[in-house]
Amino acid sequence: MLTLTENASTIVKTLTDQSPDETAGLRISSSNPDATAFAAAVTPEPEASDQVVESGGARIFLETQAAEVLDDKVLDAQVDDQGAVSFAIGAVA
């Protein structure tokens, strides 16, 4: 299952706390057949087939294809000086 760093959990929670929906989470999906590119967006709830990952109060919704590819990965995040969020996916150490 995808794991989150402490930074990623904090940033995802901060993003989803801005949503009026208490069940909101960050949905990660891939429309690329090779699942080499991912999209992330705050959504009010998971879709029926999404895998839900909760860590440190953060909720991640993984679309089926993304869940398969990210199963053994770790998600990290950071915010730059301008406030832009970037995510990085790495191997579990």
Length of the chain counted residue by residue = 93
What pLDDT, on a 0 to 100 scale, did the predictor assign at position 30?
87
Both structure tokens of 83: 């406030």
Per-residue pLDDT of the chain (93 residues; tens, 9 = 90+): 899 999 999 999 999 999 999 899 999 998 776 767 899 999 999 999 999 999 999 999 999 999 998 999 999 999 999 989 999 999 876
Burial of 16 by CB count in 10 Å (0-12 exposed, 13-18 middle, 19+ buried)? buried
What pLDDT, on a 0 to 100 scale, did the predictor assign at position 77?
95
pTM, two decimals, is 0.90
- The order of strands in the sheet holding 3-4 is 3-4, 73-79, 85-91
What pLDDT, on a 0 to 100 scale, did the predictor assign at position 91?
86
